[in-house]
Amino acid sequence: MTDDIHIRTEGAVGRITLTRPQALNALSHQMALAIEAALDAWAHDDAIAMVLCDAEGERAFCAGGDIGHVRAKGVKGNYDAGRRFWADEYRMNAKLARFPKPYVALMHGFVMGGGVGISTHGSHRVVTDSTRLAMPECGIGLIPDVGGSLILGRAPGRIGEYLGLTGTRIGAADAIFAGFADVYVPEAELPALTRALVEEPEPGAVLRRFAATPPGGVLAGLQADIDHAFSGELSRLPGALSGEAEWQVAALKALRHGCPLSIACTLELVRAARADPMIEHCLAREYRFTWRCMDQGEFMEGVRAAIVDKDRNPHWRLAPLEAVTPEHVAALLAHLGADELSF
């Protein structure tokens, strides 16, 4: 067990609390393994009626996976450490998506990357005033993984392409609209909600008492324009975003700053998930990218610029966006043969 996560039972509720607020509750390999073990133990335990997942600290539920550690291993030529982490994490994500009991996630603050993986596959997903949700992996040479391609593929229209390719942060109302969450509860009510769920582990009934209308979002009003811009091929995206609307300017800037190879692969993965939404298939496709991302992709440079040196100035080997070809994408997403992710 790791000190970064507190797993216990309270009455009929299995409790998972991330306890690494100093690192924005970034998900480590050991934390992912601990969550998987808890899910295995509780899935068929008649004494456990539901699972409640939350986190300590005011700033984040979970701001992503511990990618700094993965890169540090990769710099020394150890790519297997990252591959094992992602494989184990993805298997845990699949178990969560298939979990036979209610799983409630209280998603306050930053919810990104690995945090999306331990929340949005649950049955009851709660957002609040401070929620800032995003899949920003294209900015660091990754792709929206942990089953993120599935959630993005299910989003209305082309909202999934927009959020996945640009890494745009969204609040509570837009998280619900896009399919990342189900219920908004005001931040001040979270302690009372937690107590109520432990005392009465019937989340549907409890959440109906606490649910409120979230402050207005923006995605619904932009959907027609987003659908038009993101419905075509990658090559036409810059032209489709050449307008002066604030969202277009921000989206184009994100596309120009993000990793072109990651952006192109993300587009392929989101559309593949829309056509084939089985969670295990989505995770296997994502794993083909992450298995290769350290030695064949741009992950090492992306994390250097964002996490290590923090200069926010990655030097992508393959740029600009228009330089990425279908052959580049196919090479990163090709079947792994004996290394293919298994469940």
Report pLDDT for 191.
98
Residues 250-266 have pLDDT tens digits of: 999 999 999 999 999 99
Report pLDDT for 232.
92
pTM attached to this predicted model: 0.97
Q: What mean pLDDT is predicted for residues 70-98?
A: 97
Sequence-separated (6 or more) residues with CB below 8 Å from residue 104: 50, 51, 52, 53, 122, 123, 124, 125, 126, 197, 203, 207
Provide the 8-state DSSP code for 189: G
Q: How confident is the model at residue 2 (pLDDT cuts 50, 70, 90)?
A: confident
Query: How high does pLDDT run on average in the chain?
Result: 97
| CA pair distance 281, 155, nearest whole angstrom | 18
* Per-residue pLDDT at 62 exceeds 60: yes
* Per-residue pLDDT at 1 exceeds 90: no
Q: What mean pLDDT is predicted for residues 185-205?
A: 97
Say which amino acid occupies 208.
R
| CA pair distance 148, 152, nearest whole angstrom | 6
CB under 8 A, 24+ apart: contacts of 207-214: 207/104, 207/124, 207/126, 207/182, 207/183, 210/183, 210/185, 211/183, 211/184, 211/185, 212/184, 212/185, 212/186, 213/184, 214/127, 214/171, 214/172, 214/173, 214/176, 214/184
**Sign of the dihedral through C-alpha 158, 253, 148, 51:** negative
Residues 136-175 have pLDDT tens digits of: 999 999 999 999 999 999 999 999 999 999 999 999 999 9
Q: Report yes or no: 97 and 313 within 8 Å, Cβ to Cβ.
A: no
Q: Report yes or no: 17 and 56 within 8 Å, Cβ to Cβ.
A: yes
Q: What mean pLDDT is predicted for residues 40-45?
A: 98
Q: What mean pLDDT is predicted for residues 280-297?
A: 97
- What percentage of the chain carries pLDDT values higher than 70? 100
Burial classification of residue 140, based on how many CB atoms lie within 10 Å of its CB (0-12 exposed, 13-18 middle, 19 or more buried): buried
* Per-residue pLDDT at 108 exceeds 90: yes
Directed axis angle between helix 246-257 and helix 159-166, to 10°?
Answer: 50
- What percentage of the chain carries pLDDT values higher than 90? 99
User: Torsions phi, psi of 297, nearest 5?
Assistant: -110, -155
Domains of the chain are 5-339 (3.90.226.10)
Residues 222-256 have pLDDT tens digits of: 999 999 999 999 999 999 999 999 999 999 999 99
Q: How confident is the model at residue 269 (pLDDT cuts 50, 70, 90)?
A: very high
Q: How confident is the model at residue 306 (pLDDT cuts 50, 70, 90)?
A: very high
